[in-house]
Amino acid sequence: MFSSGVGLLVMLLLYAANIYAAFEIAIFRAQPVALVCAVAAVLPIIGPIIFLVMPTKMQAVAPTWDVAPERGAEGAAAPAGHAPAETADASNPMLAEGAAHPSGLRIAHNETEHRTKSAHPPTQTFQRGQFTFNRRFIETKFAGFFGVVRRDAEKEMVLLIKSARGQYAGDRITRIAANDLHLQIHKGGATEEVMIPFQDIKEIQLKHKDAP
């Protein structure tokens, strides 16, 4: 192969294809591009295969928790001879759990609902104009939606895609090309695959399936 110009050209083309394959694998597996390409340059063919069989590197999303506001000076000091509102409510059988306070305040039931809602991970929104929707963006941001088996941290998450053709909520990207993606959505008790061109996408939301 190295004894002729044609053979040398073929070897150079194969070596370049090996580096490019490493670049695509780094994006798909969310690995550092420089690291994967460097390993492929030293270990052609073998290096990209090593990173290809590795699991996708996911970025953990830290949950956010609502902090109750501190009570002001007015709520801290109660007038002499009067019990605080909370004590009075606790002794009133008419204000049971889930009932409304006469002043318009809610009690324990609504606080429990609020804690349940805030337990979901926050919704992430990506809008056209702030982000460029293409194959590299989808593979990098939503790498966990390409596998048949979802990880525990992502099992309850869905993709809500708003496009010029409509709004679609799906839990898996079955295929992706240079100009479009195929999203698996649920219709009734069956699943359906919808093709969405990148140029039609207006907004993408990554949210919990029970989030509003």
CA gap 62, 50 in Å, rounded: 30
pLDDT digits (tens, 9 = 90+) for 138-152: 989 888 888 777 776
- Name the DSSP letter for residue 131: B
pLDDT digits (tens, 9 = 90+) for 152-170: 667 778 889 999 889 999 8
pLDDT of residue 5: 80
State the angle between helix axes of 46-53 and 33-42 in degrees (0 to 180), rounded to the nearest 10. Answer: 140
Domain boundaries, the chain: 5-53, 86-120, 124-208
One-letter identity of residue 91: S
% of the chain at pLDDT higher than 70: 68
pLDDT of residue 203: 95
pLDDT of 74 above 70: no
What band does 23 get if pLDDT is binned at 50, 70 and 90?
very high
pLDDT of 122 above 50: yes
